[in-house]
Amino acid sequence: MYVLMKRATQHRAIYCYGILSLWIFLMIAGTYKFANFDNVMSTWLRKPQTLPAAQAQKRLRDLKRRNLLKSCNLLEDLTLGSEGESDENYNLEGVILLLRHGDRGPLSHLRNISSVDCGIKTEESSKEFELYRQIVSNISYKLPQSSMLSFFLSHIQNSPQSPLLPSSPECELGQLTPSGIVQLMKLGQLLRSRYASRLALADKNVTSEDIAVYSTAYKRTIQSVLAFLTTFLNVDDFFKVVHLRESKSLLFCFNDCACHASEVYQKRYRAEVSKFYKNHPSVIKLVRKLSNIVFEVPDSMQNSDPYVLKDGLLTFLCHEANLPSYNLRNVRKEQVTTVFNYINQETRVAVQSQALKMSFLLRSYGFLKDIVSQMLRIISEKKPRMIIYSGHDKTIKYISAAFGILNQFTALPPYASRFMIEVYSFDEKTETDIFSVRKKYFFRLLFNGQDFTDQVTFCKSNFQKDGANNSNFVVCPIESIIRYLHDDYFMIFNATNYKDACAVPT
């Protein structure tokens, strides 16, 4: 019995070895037979694995770089969006434009700042900057004596250099750089292509009544709007049109500026942000670490405010300079990415804050009043056809809140940003019964070329598409913004006017 079982086991083993040998033979034969096919396949497979991988890495590097440089708004990123893309049944009556100044130096003293070249980098930009220099070199004796700019020049005529020209190639504290000049000149060229002829601003009969220009009393905002106008207008018209009016506040609040309650709501908002910040101990540690490298003498604010740190880092990033180092410690790009990502995350949360909204609404009320009055002037007087405000990032943030479009984009406006309102009338030739005289005028709202009209809070139930051939053309009746300003603006404060809303909340 034992012998039989042993033989049966041996037979099974021999059978398995036979099967295995046959399988190996077939595999070898198949490999030999299809060797050429495998060579082709391996070659084909090898190419997609190497080339796309390299491309993917390059794309990733480019994406990370572009994310870091969004706030710089480099020349190659300055492009037209949907500005002036209207419908044939609507007539463009005027444009209200709020500009943020161009690229500037840091607001704090930085280490290694002498290694940063804030001058012009390309031949084309050099030509643009030279054009600006030539134009403003004649401005002091060609401007009307009553203009704010003449007043500005007369008070600093003993300055060692022209106040209308930025220092080059040094990065001076808070001062516009030559790159900032060229940014606004390019923006002027772009917007000229969309608006100049339609608003009859390319005609020879253009006067100072056709364009109203306001600026805060900062060199960087004055220089920025002048740079914009040198390319938006014909050179000969530049001296006729430029009649700067001063805003004593960066809010453009004019007669409605004093409001202590806005500071109270701002403090509440800061308390909310502080709680959010404290929930990110690794970011707190990183901000403190980098601040000690970036700033010459870091104070308590610089050591604890990621936004202040970002402002300092942008000086190096926007000008392609090496990141700062100190005592054998270097700032690394991945650390910068971490700080910037945190700021984006905090901003997404912050724009939902009720306290922030209330503070911004009070700060922007005076500006919104002026904008509405400018709209009514465009409608009733047909002049001015272009109103320009040259301001700051805060100006854009505040007015965005007034229109209900404060978001992560408008809350972090890059250099040379534009906030635009286009005023339209419906073509009377095609007017129907649904249009009364008081509902004949409309507006569009755009930020950096993107149409935000459909997100304006007080327009959401009152958009106008009837009569438009372009289904993507959405406008809001000007009647809506007038009603909002007079009836609904202070509802959030349980008040009916600015004075009551500014009473210190309990």
User: 97 pairs with which residues across the strands?
Assistant: 388, 420
Residue 147 pLDDT: 57
Question: What does the alpha-carbon distance between residue 389 and residue 257 come to, in Å, rounded to a whole number?
Answer: 17
Residue 431 pLDDT: 46
Question: What does the alpha-carbon distance between residue 45 and residue 288 come to, in Å, rounded to a whole number?
Answer: 49
Residue 4 pLDDT: 40
Per the document, the length of the chain is 506
CB 400 within 8 A of CB 450: no
CB 133 within 8 A of CB 165: yes
Question: What does the alpha-carbon distance between residue 82 and residue 102 come to, in Å, rounded to a whole number?
Answer: 21
Provide the H-helix boundaries in 196-246.
Answer: 219-232, 235-241
Q: How far are the Cα atoms of 93, 186, 290, 292, 480 from residue 329, in angstroms, in the given order?
A: 57, 38, 9, 10, 56
Residue 204 pLDDT: 75
Annotate 279-328 with DSSP letters as a single string: T-HHHHHHHHHHHHHHBSS--TTTTT-HHHHHHHHHHHHTTTPPPPEETT
Strands 90-100 and 386-391: parallel
Which stretches of the chain drop beneath a pLDDT of 50? 1-10, 26, 28-51, 60, 146, 155-161, 430-435, 437-438, 466
Which letter does DSSP use for residue 428 in this model? G
Taking the model in full, what pTM does it have?
0.84
Instruction: Write out the two tokens for 153.
Output: 């020049």
Using DSSP, state whether 199 is helix, strand or coil: coil
Residue 464 pLDDT: 60
Residue 381 pLDDT: 94
Instruction: Write out the two tokens for 337.
Output: 């990415």
Residue with tokens 């009016």: 245
Strands 418-426 and 244-247: unpaired
Phi, psi of 287 (to 5 degrees): -60, -45
Exposure of 198 by Cβ count < 10 A (0-12 exposed, 13-18 middle, 19+ buried)? middle
